Amino acid sequence: MRRYASSTTLVDAILGYLRKELAEDLSAVLLTGSMYDGSYMDDSDVDICVLWRRPYSLRRRTKIEGVEIDLFFDNPEGIRRVIRRGHQRFVIWMYAHARALYDADGEAARLMAEGAAMWARGRARLTKGIEFQHRCEITDGLRTIERVAEDDPLSFCYLIGPYVATAVEAYWLRVGRWGTHRKNALKQLRESDPEVHALIARVYDPSAELGDRKQAARDLAHAALGESIYRRDIEGSPFRR
């Protein structure tokens, strides 16, 4: 890794790879993460934000010139909305602390400026609408799991991933640490609340009975929402069987 810190070899290889794969859909490429701020270690990967002219976000890990590359693909307007809302601090940090490697139409420069300004303001205010959104996502997610999965373990496995991610975000919101990035959420949860972390392990335990895993999903909703909201929105729901 260190031999690429001041070399253009890897940058040229990354840009060549992206130009070949995306062609006219490539808008900008930004270097961020530990390689940008100098905190990288010998085993660090390289974080690259890719702005492309597609209305989708995706993440791809690959190797270029023998180096692990983590590529974050996003549409410029989607990133602009994220920055202006001010809630996803990790995404804002990435654009506030970045260097443009390629910028076809100036979008990278504009987004870096917006990201830096938003980062300097600090965390955005938590609104009632955000709280409502989290409650709806967790209650609707649990209802979908209970109704659609039924006794089908495969359907349960398909649905449980997004549900757990939503539940963890709702939990962090309830305990006053909302905005914790998903990359670190489970590690921090294991340290701060091992009981909730154990519920997630039960949900994902392939050796457990499906009924036990669904109960763990309900217990996770309880932990995420708190007693009063759980009783009102889930146990008191007219949709609950």
In tens, the pLDDT along 148-172 reads 776 788 888 888 988 998 888 888 8
| pTM of this prediction exceeds 0.95 | no
Pick from 144, 146, 188, 140: nearest CA to 168: 188
**Residues forming beta bridges with residue 50, ordered by sequence position:** 29, 73
Predicted confidence at residue 172, as pLDDT, reads 81
CA 55 to chain centre: 17
In tens, the pLDDT along 12-33 reads 999 999 999 999 999 999 999 8
Rounded-to-5 percentages of helix, strand, coil across the chain: 60, 15, 25
